[in-house]
A and B are shown apart, each in its own frame.
Chain A
């Protein structure tokens, strides 16, 4: 698959939140206002891109030559935890306000399914190093797009009368569902029609 094909696949066709449901926790938790949504999106995109590359190197450089493929899950999660720690330190140094806004959700990127998910998908799909990087970045961008759209919807929802029982999380899920309906327009035939396969 071409690089543009991979980008379109992970941003639109297999959007991590709306189609694969990876990273739903921060998606619901941090999407209350758009500035923290953008921050979260950028942090996740950075982490997914870097971990995709590092996990690929760990898998093909360390695990595969020694027949240790079964240690994949453990080693990947350790790589991710280390990378998240690094990102946390960098953000704290350069943007204390963003650090405050992301608060509790920054360490939670470690347990964001999207990050481990894309690392495993890269290996399962047999991507090479550059393809893994593109897939990681695309997955992060797809996440960012979904979370920014959602935060805008939620800012509007604040001002709309919503039934008491649906306020908060339920209406968020339902809005996300309607967004996912719209995203059903992007299916794999799109890739074939655009000649990207």
Chain B
């Protein structure tokens, strides 16, 4: 029993990773992955919205009539996104400015609506909450990997959050002075995503051969 709950949590992180395996939520993934700190912030936002909306939709699954379920889910998700926007505006203004419009666009992130439709309206509250956390963390992981590749190659730095006197930026010697700029630009995002997807397909095909 306990094992199955654990599985709901971990499946989203690697085996059903929303970005690399199910290919959902591409828009924010590509747009926000210019800096590691933005990717982490966006990821946390998605974990927050996804977990709470999964819990609420699971709670209300008997109340919401089947024919208007999608609009109802969208309203629930939009409410949590609004809460997130307000919280972030108040407590993390620099991150709020960096994410800009993509923060509001969490509403139309397919990961969240997809999980509501595919999981939360059929499963118990606990499982839905775990699924939300797992999928959210998987999304954060995927986003951070892409951001790491793009920031290291594109500007030769790794931007984390500023703590105390440290400005939160790790500079990589050699790359920081002569970065491969195109990776940080919009074209680079698409190229990196294509290569990563090819890598995951290749890994899957190898696994298939072993079996």
Contact = CB atoms under 8 A, between A and B. Distances in A.
Contacts of A23: 27
A74 B79 contact: yes
A24 interface: yes
> Which of B24, B74, B82, B190 has the most C-beta atoms of chain A within 10 angstroms of its own C-beta?
B190
Interface stretch (B39-47, B133-141, B181-189): B181-189
Contacts of B197: 169-170, 173
Contact of A113 (B27, B194, B201): B27
Interface of A: 18-25, 28, 70-74, 77-78, 81, 107, 110-113, 115-117, 120-121, 124, 164-166, 168-174, 176-178, 180-181, 183-184
Contact of A177 (B74, B110, B187, B201): B187
Given A74-B79, A112-B108, A21 B195 contact: no
A28 B195 CA distance: 15
Contact of B194 (A77, A115, A171, A183): A171
Given A113-B105, A165-B198, A73 B81 contact: yes
Interface of B: 23-24, 26-28, 30-31, 70-71, 74-75, 78-79, 81-82, 85-86, 101, 104-105, 107-110, 113, 182, 185-191, 193-195, 197-199, 201-202, 205
Given A170-B197, A174-B195, A180 B186 contact: yes
Contact of B108 (A74, A113, A174, A178): A113
17 contacts: A20-B31, A20-B186, A23-B27, A72-B104, A73-B104, A74-B78, A77-B107, A77-B108, A110-B108, A164-B205, A169-B194, A170-B194, A170-B197, A173-B191, A177-B187, A180-B190, A184-B187
Nearest to A167: B201
Contacts of B186: 18-21, 180, 184
